[in-house]
Amino acid sequence: MLYIGNHVSSSKGYLAMGREITGINGNVFAFFTRNPRGGKAKDIDEEDVRRFLAYKTEHRIGTLVAHAPYTLNPCAAKPELREFAYNIMADDLRRMEYTPGNLYNFHPGSHVQQGVEVAIGLIGELLNNVLNKDQTTTVLLETMSGKGTEVGRSFEELQAIIQQVDLDSHIGVCLDTCHVYSAGYDIVNDLEGVLKEFDRVIGIDRLRAVHLNDSMTPLGSHKDRHEKIGNGSIGMEAFVRIINHPQLKHLPFILETPNDNAGYAHEIAVLRDAYHE
């Protein structure tokens, strides 16, 4: 079974998200836990969650891949910005426990002028503060393209963060195909080699979700410009290999392509057609 879907709006609650994704033949979805810029989250409606969880079982919806606001900078130089990131993540993780056993993805952040090593230390510290041993949510570090001073541009940087985390059984990685290709990992001509490298540096068991995006820019460009599946520098053939790879084919695939719902429905249909059970 191919688990595929896209980002849906969380503004109408959980059941509405479930209905939206099944409406375009998706069976997983991503959502921002709050306004992507980091505003206040809506209160959890427990009745909505209860109805959603029943709907999720009934419609065989797979793992949820929540996304932290992208403006958080967990490795900011200013302590008040790091505290803001901590407060949002702590609140998000508390809320995630209403839907147990799912995934919460975040961008490691930008080191600006501090250098990558200092930043890696700050991200590790934040994770040690925010994780708790009883949580059922796995927190995912996203692979980044390395634009500007982004941290997480290499498997080594991600592993350096993970190594510092005490409760590392609650940590995983989300591989963004646009980002890794932009970062210089050739998933078009050497998918096997890239996954071997991932396994050698991080361990393939950490890989828990894939953001499925084509790229407007070439290999190693360190840009972050998502393109529709098949229309960019990665191309359809590579995506067919990615969704069918034995080490990937069971994972939740989240489209973050520039599309409206009709566009997502089309990408989902095309990829389902290309998937081998």
Active site residues: 37, 67, 70, 107, 142, 176, 179, 211, 224, 226, 256
In whole angstroms, how close is the CB of 62 to Fe ion at the nearest point? 18
Under the binding rule (CB under 5 A), the answer on residue 214 touching Fe ion is: no
Question: Quick one: 92 or 227, whose CB is closer to Zn ion?
Answer: 227
Q: Quick one: which of 20, 176, 214, 224 contacts Fe ion (CB under 5 A)?
A: 176
Q: Which residue bears the tokens 């393109």?
A: 227
In whole angstroms, how close is the CB of 31 to Zn ion at the nearest point? 16
The helix or strand, by DSSP H or E, that contains position 202, with its residue range, turns out to be none
Q: Which residue bears the tokens 């200092």?
A: 118
Question: Quick one: 19 or 147, whose CB is closer to Zn ion?
Answer: 147
**Which span (19-27, 95-103, 121-129, 140-148) binds Fe ion, by CB under 5 A?**
140-148
User: Residue 185 and residue 165: Cα distance in Å, rounded?
Assistant: 25
Nearest by Cα to 34 from 64, 9, 61, 6? 9
Q: Residue 52 gets which letter from DSSP?
A: H
Q: Quick one: which of 82, 95, 111, 211 contacts Fe ion (CB under 5 A)?
A: 211
In whole angstroms, how close is the CB of 224 to Zn ion at the nearest point? 4
Alpha-helical segments (H) within 116-229: 116-130, 155-163, 177-183, 191-201
Contacts of 217 (CB under 8 A, 6+ apart): 182, 223, 225, 233
Contact partner, 211, from Fe ion, Zn ion, none, Cβ < 5-8 Å per class: Fe ion
In whole angstroms, how close is the CB of 152 to Zn ion at the nearest point? 11
Under the binding rule (CB under 5 A), the answer on residue 224 touching Zn ion is: yes
Under the binding rule (CB under 5 A), the answer on residue 150 touching Zn ion is: no
CA dihedral 112, 114, 120, 123 (to 10 degrees): -70
Q: Which residue bears the tokens 């250098």?
A: 115
Binding site for Zn ion (CB under 5 A): 224
